[in-house]
Amino acid sequence: MIPPNNFITSPIKILHIGNSEINIFNTNGKNLDQVVIDDFGEEWKKFNNFEDPIIQKLGDGYFDIIDDDIVNSQTYCLDVGCGTGRWSKYLAQRAGFIEAIDPSDSILAAGKLLEGIKNIRLSRSAIDTLPFADNSFDFAMSVGVLHHIPDTQQALNDCVKKVKAGGYLYIYLYYTLDNRSLLFKFIFHLSNIIRRVTSKLPGRFKRIVCDILAIIVYMPFILICRLFVWAGFEKLAGRIPLYAYHDKGFLIIRNDALDRFGTRLEKRFSRDQIIEMMEIAGLTDIVVSPNLPYYHAVGRKKEFELNQSSESPLNYPTAG
Ligand SMILES: C[S@@+](CC[C@H](N)C(=O)[O-])C[C@H]1O[C@@H](n2cnc3c(N)ncnc32)[C@H](O)[C@@H]1O
């Protein structure tokens, strides 16, 4: 697929990382938290060396609800908040062309990870300053991003605006543990108290503390899960916190511990809230995957135009 050259503003400059080009745009949006973005830039500088089998294995879980009718060789895609670009890399074999954007230094890491992939274009940009015309994309995705943005509903609206009528938006948002036991919720609330402290630590120290938490908080749960799975009690293991990591490597565990305990703005949504927000943004035929990670969902853009000037009707409390 030939990339539609539809930047609506010219890049301020073009950076070259190896063979990759990165289009630099203004990231002075209103709907962003600069400290969170700077922290992600640091995080992805450290965790960017994802090997293809790891991306493939994780991606199969994240994208279980995205079939070839949604993404195929004719699909023009947008990856909002691409981080290292691992999900763009995952979809690049199936998609026509992907525009991957991120406002943080992680876009430089993406330049390295995606080097040589011809059907991905990288841009430094933010969700409310996207340099693309409205109604451009057949498929847009925002994976683990919208819960780190001050106004999640507005961010969702801004993504939907870029999708063609009849096109799709895929999101992954942190969940409120609405489908979990009281014990599970209690353990989560304890971890949230820790996060309020760790997320405010200075950079290098924060990364060391989060590595320690990966070992003393994550690993005990994960090892119990592995033991149960090994003994044939997979269903029981599934009820233990952090089961999702029982088959993941230590790099992913450290990365996610830094994500979880190192990010100061983190919101959470129930399944119903996610469906409601997607409907308000103008999506229909919404499918929420029954599988981990909770919750990832996809919806199709309705044929009518959303009134983008309206205020966010939802104001969910922030956990951060
Ligand atoms: C948890 S990371 C997810 C990265 C990637 N989607 C993934 O799953 O590997 C969240 C990303 O959202 C980006 N982000 C934060 N605020 C944003 C905004 N206002 N617009 C676009 N991206 C944003 C961060 O820079 C960061 O790379």
Q: Mutation test of ligand 1: which of 25, 33, 36, 40 has the most ligand atoms closer than 8 Å to its C-beta?
A: 40
Q: What percent of the chain has pLDDT over 70?
A: 93
Per-residue pLDDT band for 184 (boundaries 50, 70, 90) equals confident
pLDDT of 119 strictly over 70: yes
Identify the bridge partners of residue 284 per DSSP, sorted by sequence position: 300
Query: What is the 260 CA–ligand 1 centroid distance (Å)?
Result: 13
The residue nearest atom 8 of ligand 1, judged by CA position, is 143
Tokens describing residue 1: 């697929």
The closest alpha carbon to 36, from 146, 117, 176, 121, belongs to 146
Per the prediction, the chain carries an average pLDDT of 91
The rounded radius of gyration (Å) of the Cα atoms in the chain is 19
> Which residues surround ligand 1 with Cβ inside 6 Å?
29, 31-32, 36-37, 40, 80-84, 86-87, 102-104, 106, 126-127, 143-145, 148-149, 259
Tens digit of pLDDT for each residue in 132-160?
999 999 999 999 999 999 999 999 999 99
The Cα 56–Cα 290 span in angstroms is: 20
Closest CA to 295 of 278, 271, 263, 260: 271
Q: Check residue 45 and give its pLDDT.
A: 79
Q: Give the whole-angstrom CA distance, residue 214 versus residue 261.
A: 10
Instruction: Please say if the pLDDT value at position 27 is more than 60.
Output: yes
Its sign, for the CA torsion 24, 37, 247, 214, is positive
Whole-number Å distance between alpha carbons of 128 and 136: 15
**pLDDT in the model for residue 295:** 97
Alpha carbons 202 and 199: distance in angstroms, whole number: 8
pTM of the model: 0.89
pLDDT confidence tier of residue 128, bands split at 50, 70 and 90: very high
Side-chain half-sphere exposure of 298, counting CA atoms within 13 A: 20
What's domain 13-175+268-301's superfamily in CATH? Vaccinia Virus protein VP39 (3.40.50.150)
pLDDT, residue 317, reads 37
Rounded Cα distance, 170 and 48, in Å: 23
User: Which atom of ligand 1 is nearest to 172's Cα?
Assistant: 8
Q: Distance from the CA of 101 to the center of ligand 1, in angstroms?
A: 9
pLDDT number for residue 48: 79
Q: Residue 137 belongs to what H/E stretch?
A: strand 137-143
Q: Can you give the length of the chain in residues?
A: 320
Least confident piece of the model among 46-55, 79-88, 236-245: 46-55
- Return the residue whose CA atom lies nearest to atom 14 of ligand 1: 81
The answer to whether the beta carbons of residues 267 and 174 sit under 8 Å apart is yes
Distance CA 85, CA 88 (A): 5
